[in-house]
Amino acid sequence: MKVLFAVSNENISESIVKKYQKEYKEIISSKNVYYFNAIQKELQKDNTYDRIVISEDLEPFANNNYDAIDKFIFDKLDAISDEATNSSRNDTPIILICSDRRSKSEDILVKLFSIGIYDAVLGNDRSIDEICNLIKKPRTKKEAKIYYKIDTDDVKYSPENENEVSEVEIQNILSHYKKLGKNEDKYAESFESIASQYSEEQLKVIANILPLNVKAILETTSPKYQRIMTSSVSNYIKEQDNGLSMNFITDKTAPVIGNVIVPEAVNKAKVKKIVTQKEMAEDTQSSIPGSILEEMEKEFVEPAPKRKRGRPRKNPLPDETVPKVPKKRGRPRKNPLPEENINLFEISPENETVLDDSTVLPGFDNEIFENQYNQSTSNSKEIINTKENNTDFNIQTLLTGDKKLVAFVGTSKNGTSFLVNNVAQEISSTGINTAILDTTRNRNSYYIYTQNEEYLRNVASESIKKLQNGIAEGIKVNDNLTVYTAIPEEDVGIQNYGIILQTLVQNYDLVLIDCDFNTNFGYFAESQEIYLVQSLDVLTIQPLTAYLRDLKANDILKQEKIRVIINKDMKVRGLTDKAIIGGMSYYNEPAMSFMTELFDRDLVKYCTIPFETQTYSKYLEGLVNCKITLSGYSKGFILALKNLNNMVYPLIGSKTNKKVKVKKNKKKQNEEHEDLKFSQGMSDTLNQMKKNY
């Protein structure tokens, strides 16, 4: 099931998806947009959506003019419904979450019904359960009529004035002639077909707005057009009295009547809007220059007409050479949805996040999800890929006491491996038994820690494979630091995160996972903290946020897990720490049609690591010599690194102090033993005494 959400608060869509998947055991693939225009644009780009969920309160309004708001809402839904067809040319159900002022039987519901929107929810029905029900099984036309409490007689499928021609029909007639192009011999034939469907008064309106080149051909080839235009001129002359009558507008500036441009010398009483309406947000514009005839004669590109919803015309257009009238067809509030049947628009900000913790992640515990989820995504990083190898392990039960499991990830060249290596060196030097797990595709640690020695290369190439057999044998860097890596690009079963992490957590106090954008999502799901590494290069933020969006879509990117590291920090005018974090906290679709909040930038914990030429020079020197060391780093950098280390593995209240103390006690005992050493002769005497006694 693929659903397009247009709701202002992402918690709403997340809650709906989570509830639906739990209730119906079916995976939902979803996308969020935040503007009415973005809905239309997305549907034009992607016609594979199965459902569309729109909140009527998607965009804020500057006033309380309900008539203007209703008109704006209906026009937007009308335009959206024109695009809401799937690849099989079937209508895509639109589920509309109405505002709290809506009631059954009102006029706008009648209009919505007439354009095929049968799944509006009102009043107390605005709940997660009801929306999930409609996603699973949309209403039929008959069910909608009963729910809306409307009579069929109230529904009008044609213009209110029988002599009017709707804007959509006008535009499609123009589009039809545009497509005919230089095929002028078809002009008269098409006009005859059009004439068979409209009254004479309607044809007069249509004839007046045709492009000049079409008119020129019809004047000589179409008797029907000639008769219509002759009749129109005769009536026009009769109505003149020393000039045009008051029913005609002669102002050469082509004034705006409401949102409709009325051309000069056209009876406005018989014309219904015949140019594209401007956005309600642009309603303050007082006029649009040029007459309607000039506007209609300009070059334009129209999408192919689509099937019209609701009741068809009594005399449908005969074939594809004649334009078909397209179908016609709201928006959510900023307050989030509750988990159960609670009014969607009466939730306080304190209860904003209402996700059900009992819902399982796809691919962990529920067999039903596996096949469906594999079909719905081709992302090789998903947890589901190695479900069979990871379901028997509950890593969280092992993370007790002073055990810690953390992941580091960032866009390439932002220094993720640099930080992992230095954090590991510093923390292991305090006596903490530490392991580095390299899950990156490049596996830089293979080159760094094997020191160009055959023996260490063999250890590295087998280390991750052995983890899967419960054996913790990696590259021993020092007494308290071991590195697990493999030959770059080689498949060593790294996707089996369950058994790998279980073995590491059982053997080490701290496990640091070096990740990239190919790392299996399971490592992030099991990590207690996720450190997002970002430099001041703002162009690298987009790839990171795109990856984080995928983590969030899989319910992995939890606010309490996230930590931010601003690496290579320096003074840049206009670029602050908060600005960088703010940029990281949202995923912005490149076309800026929608964005997704990833985490609360005001609540996230963060630290900065300064950019120092001396420090980086020393680190690069260590890479050349295949030996990472903190020796030569500046005091300022070491202090910043210690701040990061205190986030990763806090020293206060942990067994770190105990280990350091034990280490010092052993050193003291050794020193005492040094003082008590006997001469060789005395030692021989004592040994002889032991033998005798």
Q: Residue 348 above 70 pLDDT?
A: no
Q: Are residues 115 and 16 in the same domain?
A: yes
Q: Does residue 357 have a pLDDT over 80? A: no
Cα distance between residue 187 and residue 216, in whole Å: 10
529 & 599 share domain: yes
Paired residues of 399 in beta bridges? none
Residue 307 resides in a domain: no
- DSSP string covering 248-303: B---TT--EETTEEPPTTSBGGG----SPPPPGGGTT-----S-HHHHHHS----P
Are 633 and 618 in contact by the 8 Å Cβ rule? The answer is yes
pLDDT band at 598 (very low <50, low <70, confident <90, very high): very high
Question: How confident is the model at residue 269, as a pLDDT?
Answer: 40
pLDDT in tens, 559-582: 999 999 999 988 888 889 999 999
Instruction: Establish if 445 belongs to a structural domain.
Output: no
- CATH code at 508? 3.40.50.300
Q: What angle do CA 640, 586, 346 make, to 5 degrees?
A: 120
Same domain, 596 and 620: yes
What CATH number corresponds to the domain at position 146?
3.40.50.2300
Mean pLDDT of 525-550: 93
Residue 680's domain comprises 665-692
pLDDT of residue 606: 94
Q: What is the mean pLDDT of residues 454-470?
A: 92
In this prediction, residue 630 carries a pLDDT of: 79
Residue 309 lies in a domain: no
Same domain, 141 and 180: no
* pLDDT value, residue 235: 55
Long-range contacts of 660-664 (CB under 8 A, 24+ apart): 660/430, 660/431, 662/431, 663/431
C-alpha separations of 534 from 236, 344, 537, 539, 577 in Å: 72, 37, 8, 10, 11
- Considering the domain architecture, whether residues 278 and 219 belong to the same structural domain is answered as yes
DSSP conformation class of 92: P
Please, what is the average pLDDT of the chain? 74
Of 397 and 329, the one with more pLDDT:
397
pLDDT tens, residue by residue, 623-682: 777 777 777 888 888 899 999 999 999 864 444 444 444 444 444 445 444 444 444 555
Q: What is the pLDDT of residues 11-46, one digit of tens each?
A: 889 999 999 999 999 989 999 988 888 899 899 988
What DSSP assignment string belongs to 10-21?
HHHHHHHHHHHH
**Model confidence at 424: pLDDT above 90:** yes
Confidence of residue 294 (pLDDT cuts 50, 70, 90): very low
Q: What percentage of the chain exceeds 70 in pLDDT?
A: 67
| Helical packing angle, 223-239 and 212-221, nearest 10° | 110
Do residues 220 and 83 both lie within one domain? no
Contact between residue 57 and residue 99 where contact means Cβ atoms under 8 Å apart: yes
Q: Would you say residue 153 has pLDDT above 60? A: no
Whether 183 maps to a domain, the answer reads yes
**DSSP string computed for 360-390:** PPTTTS-HHHHHHHHHH---TT-GGGGGGGT
**113 strand-pairing partners:** none
Residue 40 contacts by C-beta under 8 Å, 6 or more apart in sequence? Answer: 79, 80, 83
484: left (phi over 0), alpha (psi -120 to 50) or beta: beta
In terms of Cα–Cα distance, which of 545, 596, 553 is closest to 28? 553
97 touches 332 (CB < 8 A): yes
Range with lowest mean pLDDT among 92-106, 322-336, 630-644: 322-336
Residues 221 and 255 in one domain: yes
Q: Could you tell me the sign of the dihedral formed by the alpha carbons of 529, 530, 531, 536, in that order?
A: negative
How many helices and strands in the chain, by DSSP H and E? Answer: 24, 17
pLDDT at 325: 46
Strand partners, 97: 55, 121
In a domain? residue 679: yes
Give the amino acid at 234.
Answer: S
Could you tell me if 588 and 634 lie in one domain?
yes
pLDDT of 605 higher than 90: yes
* Mean pLDDT score, 318-322: 46
Question: How would residue 591 be classed by pLDDT, with cut points 50, 70 and 90?
Answer: low
Q: Are residues 633 and 554 in the same domain?
A: yes
Q: How many CB atoms lie within 10 A of CB 585?
A: 21
Q: What's the CA gap between 484 and 474, in Å, rounded?
A: 5
Kindly state whether residue 395 falls inside one of the protein's structural domains: no
Q: What is the mean pLDDT of residues 492-502?
A: 91
**Is 150 or 372 the better-scoring residue by pLDDT?**
150
**147, 218: one domain:** no
The pTM score is: 0.46
pLDDT at 198 over 70: yes
Q: How many domains does the chain have?
A: 4
Instruction: Quick: pLDDT tens for 373-393.
Output: 333 333 434 444 444 455 556
The pLDDT, as a whole number, for residue 361 is 30
In contact, 434 and 534? CB cutoff 8 Å: no
Tell whether 13 is covered by a domain. yes
Q: Are residues 418 and 558 in the same domain?
A: yes
Asked if residue 304 belongs to a domain, the reply is: no
Angle at 351 between CA 523 and CA 527, to 5 degrees: 10
pLDDT of residue 341: 44
CB atoms within 10 A of CB 691: 6
- The three-state secondary structure class of 610 is strand
Query: Which of 315-329, 395-409, 507-521, 647-661 is least confident?
Result: 315-329
Q: pLDDT at position 502, please?
A: 93
Please report, for residues 23, 121, 338, 599, the alpha-carbon distance to residue 15 in angstroms, rounded to integers and kept in the order given. Answer: 12, 17, 8, 16
Per-residue pLDDT at 411: 93
Query: Most distant CA pair in the chain: distance in Å?
Result: 147
CA distances from 551 to 25, 172, 200, 257, 410 (A): 21, 44, 61, 51, 13
Q: What confidence tens digit (pLDDT) does each residue in 245-274 have?
A: 333 333 334 444 433 333 333 343 433 333
- Looking at the fold, whether 82 and 28 belong to one and the same domain comes out as yes
DSSP state of 85: B
Q: Is the pLDDT of residue 297 over 80?
A: no
Predicted confidence at residue 593, as pLDDT, reads 57
Torsions phi, psi of 17, nearest 5?
-60, -45
- pLDDT category at 334 given cuts 50, 70, 90 is very low
pLDDT of amino acid 63 = 66
What does each C-alpha distance from 194 to 305, 316, 467 come to in angstroms?
Answer: 16, 10, 75
